[in-house]
Amino acid sequence: MRKLTSTNAINEASLVRNCGVVYALTLIGGRWKPTLLFSLLGGTMRYNQLLKSIPGISERMLAAQLRELEKDGLVKRTVYAEVPQRVEYELTALGMSAAPLLRTMSEWGNSLRERP
């Protein structure tokens, strides 16, 4: 944990405040968030479906990333009053607005991977 008054923290806060790319990457960046968002482009999914669709992600990390995406308004979590409890995740309108960006990034990344 770093101090909020450190030069690094101040510089990061300034970038987030003043640069749209940096702010967007704070919302969708990281190892798992882009994959989660891309998976949810296909529609509503349950927790275990997401877990199985993303090889290598731990349950702890999946739960943490979903909480962050929900907090940032990109993912909606719906809990149904059933036994056993059913929980579904879907993209919000804000999350869906990232679809063109995610698809373009995927195409770009795939084309780079195929380079000699």
Q: Looking at the structure, do residues 77 and 24 belong to the same domain, yes or no?
A: no
What CATH number should be reported for the domain holding residue 71?
A: 1.10.10.10
Q: Looking at the structure, do residues 80 and 98 belong to the same domain, yes or no?
A: yes
- Check pLDDT > 90 for residue 8: no
Instruction: Give residue-wise pLDDT tens across range 61-71.
Output: 999 999 999 99
In this prediction, residue 45 has a pLDDT band, given cuts at 50, 70 and 90, of: very high
Domain count, the chain: 2
**Structural domain harbouring 10:** 1-30
Kind and range of the H or E run holding 46: strand 45-46
SS (H, E, C) 61-109: HHHHHHHHHHHCCCEEEEEECCCCCEEEEEECHHHHCCHHHHHHHHHHH
Q: Looking at the structure, do residues 20 and 64 belong to the same domain, yes or no?
A: no
**What confidence score (pLDDT) does residue 47 get?**
94
Q: Helix crossing, 7-18 with 20-28: angle to 10°?
A: 100
Q: Looking at the structure, do residues 38 and 81 belong to the same domain, yes or no?
A: yes
Q: Looking at the structure, do residues 48 and 75 belong to the same domain, yes or no?
A: yes
Q: Is residue 116 part of a domain?
A: no
Q: Is residue 47 part of a domain?
A: yes
Higher pLDDT, 8 or 59: 59
Q: Is residue 113 part of a domain?
A: no
Answer whether 43's CB lies under 8 Å from 90's CB.
Answer: yes
Q: Looking at the structure, do residues 5 and 54 belong to the same domain, yes or no?
A: no
The structure's pTM equals: 0.84
